[in-house]
Amino acid sequence: MVLSKTIRINEIFLSIQGESSRTGLPTSFIRTTGCPLRCHYCDTAYAFHQGRNMTIKEIGDKISTNKTPFVTVTGGEPLAQKSCLSLLEFLCNQKYKVSLETSGAIDLSQVDRRVMKVMDLKTPGSGEVDRNLYENLNFIHEHDEIKFVICDREDYEWSKNIIEKKGLINRSHILFSPEHESLEAHQLAKWILDDKINVKLQIQLHKYLWGNVPGK
């Protein structure tokens, strides 16, 4: 049965959503354990190995106490565990408004269509640009979002080129997020305005609220 399936979970917590179009909303976060990527700027390396197995029922019981309809499944890389697909379907069936934060390096074709996918296309500054699975763009829909974490001007120009080459504008929401430690948000904002490109500047609100505190 679906409820008895297990997934390795690093942490479950209630916080303010710091990213995506749902920024500012109280959200239940389910952080899974494990990730096949090693981005230079990763701020959740503690989730690579730490965690414990939980059934889908246990996860559902845990988040039900948070009294919010918004749930984000994040990592690590959630799709590195096959049972994540069952978890996402369960959460949607429970009428939660579910978002998935994924690197896009793993096949998205089986993700429940009701889930809002926030796919991170890796820029050169991440050190993992070669892991982008561009076939996943076929499974990005109007309610999904594509995120670029920008470390420097090279990343910015690369991202603009990918957007044009892949025809991403007006296909889904495009997020440009300055890497917190290496690029000032105002500088990225200036580049966006100078070039008049139709993307959304995204800062990581949670880091301005609490810094790099796990479980916030």
Q: How does the average pLDDT of the chain come out, rounded?
A: 94
pTM of the full structure:
0.94
Q: What pLDDT was estimated at residue 215?
A: 61
Provide mean pLDDT across the span 153-167: 97
Q: Evaluate whether 146 touches 172 at the Cβ level (below 8 Å).
A: yes
- Distance in angstroms (rounded) separating the CA atoms of residues 157 and 153: 6
Chain segment 48-75, per-residue pLDDT in tens = 999 999 999 999 999 999 999 999 999 9
| In a domain? residue 180 | yes
Triad 6, 107, 59: Cα angle to 5°: 25
What single-letter amino acid sits at 42?
A: C
The CATH number given to whatever domain includes residue 65 is 3.20.20.70
Number of domains in the chain: 1
Q: Which helix (DSSP H) or strand (DSSP E) does residue 208 occupy?
A: helix 205-210
| In a domain? residue 85 | yes
Chain segment 29-50, per-residue pLDDT in tens = 999 999 999 999 998 999 999 9
Structure tokens belonging to residue 3: 């409820």
| In a domain? residue 215 | no
| In a domain? residue 87 | yes
| In a domain? residue 142 | yes
| In a domain? residue 216 | no
**CA torsion sign, 60 to 62 to 68 to 74?**
negative
| In a domain? residue 144 | yes
Range of the domain at 20: 2-210
| In a domain? residue 154 | yes
